[in-house]
Chains A and B, each alone.
Chain A
Amino acid sequence: MSQTFGDGGRNGGLFIPHSRALVWLNLAVTFVVAAISFSLGFWQGLSAQIVILYTIVLAAVLFWLINYVAVIFESRSSSLETDTAAPAGAGGVWAGNRVLIITMAVMLIVYLLITATVPSFRSLGNLIAFLLLEAILVFAFKVGNRFAHGRSAFIGLIVLLALIVISSFTIKGFLSAANIKAILLFAAFLGIACVGQTLVALLGGLDLSIPFVIGASNIGLLFLISLGVPPWLAVVFVLIIGGALGFLNGVLSYRLQGQALILTLGMGFAIAGLVQILTSIGSSFGGNVFGTVPKWLQNLAAMNGRTFGLAVPPTILLWIVIAVIVIVGLRYSAFGRYIYALGGNRRSAKLIGVSEFKYWTLAYTISGFSAALTGALLLGWSGGGFIGVGDQYLFTTLAAVVIGGTSLMGGYGGYGYTVIGVLVLQVLSAFLIGIGLKYEWQQFIFGLLILPMVALYGRAPHIRAQV
């Protein structure tokens, strides 16, 4: 049995536990799940090729995942056993699981209260959802502790899973292809807008100008197109302007890093105001831009868009490509490593010759660029320019970064985490819409959700420990 993560069965990306029994167990679990999905697929009346394809993909991914978890358990368990030797007896159980027990009790009370007061709440689906939630809580608490790194991502995945399961129980048609496509499409918009926010957050900054740049690029692009500029040129122009505005953000906030949040907010306001002035000069409709969006741009982002004949909007694929590039880039390129180095410790990064100014402005430039890209894509989606189209991204970009688990102090996290955060947010949003909550309630719940998510991992040490 290996002791470290490095040689713990990491055979070129394939995680294979050393214990034979575990391998067989994983194989068995995978097989059972695959069989269930196989029969379910035929029961739904899908075509045989698709069922077989999906089953194989599912089995492979599942097997890989289970093995990954098993390897982590193998490599961590020996070192953890000594730490978790809690005192025996009821007192020991209480001391070890205080938070878990309290949370579960609170949830039980809330559930009983709602059940007692709201008659329409008493259904089998809700009971199953509640039990599932409790089980997930136990799982997250007991297993989440085993991950030293990526704990927030793990919890995020669990939450995502729970949300999907609960939603599909309570909402009809949640797992339909159209709904999944819609969720993914909106996730793609949010995810592309979050690229810059993640990079900036890794450096310990924040960019609140994103929604304004989105709105500005949205109406600016339509304005350029309506002026008669070739659409592809207009898109390139808008993207370059977006990058330039991001660069300006970075330069201006470099000496004011503590106040980058406020500064970018002010910049965003100025940008939105300026673009609105520019687009409404000579027009009697203040702030409204009219024009026709070219077909290819509509196809790029509209719900019924097609990629190489597939009925998937190209934006989703674009997001996947961007995500892969950013994740790999952050992990393996010098650029990515230096961003982590600067975020983790400015002083030592500077001492090894990393230019803080360069990376700070670069991160903001990328942020402006990705925001402008989101604005352009949103134009294709909506077909009409509107300055307020980015408004909801003011805090959702931040919420996605935070929920995913990237530290706002910098130096810890990554775009992969943000992808999880984006998906959690979008699925939660779809769930809330599904059970009939309006946008205002969603915003309220998002607001309350950020705090516990940050509290799970982003707590500062006590002042005693800082002196």
Chain B
Amino acid sequence: MLMSQSRGSQNTYLLVPILLIALLLSAAVIRGPNLVCLSGFGSAIIVSAPLILATFSLMALAVAGRGTVDLAVGPLLAFINVTIVKLNGLGIVTGPFGVFLVALGIGVLYQLFFALIIIFVRVQPIIVALSGFLALTGINLVILPRPGGTAPDWMSSWGLGNTIFSPILLIVLLAIAAWLLFTTTSFYANLRLMGYDERAAYTSGVRINVVRIGAHIIAGLFVGLGAICYTALISSGDPTQGTTMTLTAVTALVLGGVSLSGGRGGVAGGLLGALNLFLIGYVLATFNFGSTQAFVTQLFYGLILVLSLLLTLLVPIIGRYLHFISPFAAFAVLGCVVVGIMLYISTRDTYGVAVAGEAFKSNPDVMTRYLLLPVQSGSGPALPDLTPLQKIVFGFAVILAVLTFTVRVIVAEAVSVRLGAFIYVFVSALILLLFLVVGQQSHAAGILATGQSLGIGP
């Protein structure tokens, strides 16, 4: 029992960000339905990508322990950004290969330097980070005194955000996949052990210096990718946003439940934290605070950082009482609910226009109505014509399948350390479905060009 309890409670720290993201996503969709369409998702991905990658970078270092919070992550990102823009402006490095090489190279070199100082000079990491913060903030302004310059030409289409499947999404997905692959190695086990208890790791023969350097190199790669996404996003250079980026990334890290004292954390936490923070900004932007908008955002970011830090005190308590709930099962359940809300919002306005209400009366099944019909009506070939009976049967089958999956997940995952592969498939299928529906919606709205599709489309 004890065994299963301790194993079950391993990931409970994720419950808080998962609950938060469900609430925020619902609020975001209700407050600003523009989110649920191709360009909405596309721009959301592009805007949040630099933050996600910066958070990953912090996460890799936080897992390595010793209270390593790389405060210089924002200025480093800005440094790579202005370097890319400057080199592009001078015509030295313009091609994709060169830019990636420069970005990842700077990130890795800086982090390698960072690691070597921690290991050999044996100064507290936070001091090195502060030092780097000051130095990089200064040198950024020297390289590019004010925001300006242009990103490489081939990057200009990346930041448009009118489609979901942009290269930015690919970069983020590759980063996530790479980290997940990395977690299967024994190097990752050593990293977590070192972060949790460095002395224990040392005495059990882990070569902690090598592990630490490895963690920093991974962090450097993430920062480099983040800088590329950031450059694509703003398609110019901006030396002034470093401090803000650091603060938001640290907030995202804490919000995602990653322990700043080391050993606890993962890609799910970092991703959820960054998305949460993006959604908070999104929801706040839908309220109109007039001239105080920036200050309200500042206030909320600060408060959220403080509150989520205080929440981490509750993690052991949550773990004690809720150990039987698998966070990923909760994610799946909440995900279904939120996707339902999103689908409802996205199809509410166009439904009447597109289908002209004919099938509306004949088919009361919610699932079928909102999931299948718009697709069918938008561009015929996606699904064959179904009779109402078939629709009902199909809808119930889907609901049954979802319920079975959910129950199965809750029971099975509560005691397992690692997640079964199928939940990834399940969640990604869910997201893919959403994208498809939304894509069809936008498409349909574009074809019909009724101009009445209030919530959706360009």
Contacts and interface: CB of A to CB of B under 8 A. Distances in A.
Contacts, number: 172
Interface stretch (A6-14, A190-198, A238-246, A449-457): A449-457
B296 A258 contact: no
Contact of A273 (B122, B250, B299): B299
B62 to A, nearest CB: 11
Given A258-B260, A402-B127, A269 B291 contact: no
Interface residues of A, number: 57
Most chain A CB within a 10 A radius of its CB, from B142, B261, B306: B306
Given A273-B298, A467-B203, A266 B261 contact: no
Contacts of B124: 408-409, 454, 458, 460
Nearest to B198: A463
B328 to A, nearest CB: 27
Contact of A259 (B136, B141, B251, B309): B309
B303 A443 contact: no
Contacts of B6: none
B404 interface: no
B247 interface: yes
Interface string B115-146: 00100011110111011111111111110010
Contact of B295 (A259, A287, A398): A287
A442 B138 contact: yes
A454 B260 contact: no
Given A398-B130, A440-B138, A455 B121 contact: yes
Nearest to B127: A454
A273 B247 CA distance: 14
A256 B310 contact: yes
A450 B130 contact: yes
Given A262-B69, A262-B250, A446 B295 contact: no
B85 interface: no
Given A408-B127, A444-B139, A463-B208, A273 B302 contact: yes
B306 A263 contact: yes
A261 interface: yes
B248 to A, nearest CB: 10
B309 A269 contact: no
B66 to A, nearest CB: 9
Interface stretch (A131-139, A228-236, A276-284): A276-284
Interface string B142-173: 10010000000000000000000000000000
B254 A262 contact: yes
Nearest to B201: A463
A467 B123 contact: no
Contact of B131 (A272, A277, A287, A447): A447
A107 B310 CA distance: 49
A265 B298 CA distance: 12
B292 A280 contact: yes
Nearest to B200: A467
Q: Among A273, A280, A445, find the residue whose CB has the most chain B CB atoms closer than 10 A.
A: A273
B67 interface: yes
A282 to B, nearest CB: 11
Interface in B280-313: 290-292, 294-306, 309-310, 312-313
B334 to A, nearest CB: 26
B320 interface: no
Given A286-B292, A454-B127, A266 B122 contact: no
Contacts of B296: 273, 277
Query: Which of B130, B251, B310 has the most chain A CB atoms inside 10 A of its CB?
Result: B130
Contacts of A335: none
Nearest to A442: B138
A271 B302 contact: yes
B301 A269 contact: yes
A266 B306 contact: yes
Contacts of A285: 291
Contact of A447 (B136, B261, B305): B136
A88 to B, nearest CB: 30
Interface in A353-397: 395
A272 B306 contact: no
Given A395-B130, A455-B121, 12 more contacts: A259-B260, A261-B69, A262-B69, A263-B306, A276-B295, A276-B298, A286-B291, A286-B292, A441-B138, A443-B135, A444-B139, A451-B123
Q: Which 6 A-B pairs have the closest CB atoms?
A: A447-B134, A286-B291, A270-B302, A273-B299, A447-B135, A269-B302
23 contacts: A258-B260, A259-B261, A261-B126, A267-B302, A269-B247, A269-B302, A270-B299, A271-B302, A276-B292, A276-B298, A280-B295, A287-B295, A399-B134, A446-B135, A447-B133, A450-B134, A451-B121, A451-B131, A455-B123, A458-B127, A459-B121, A463-B198, A467-B203
Interface of A: 206, 252, 255-256, 258-259, 261-263, 265-274, 276-277, 280-281, 284-287, 395, 398-399, 402, 408-409, 438-448, 450-451, 454-455, 458-464, 466-467
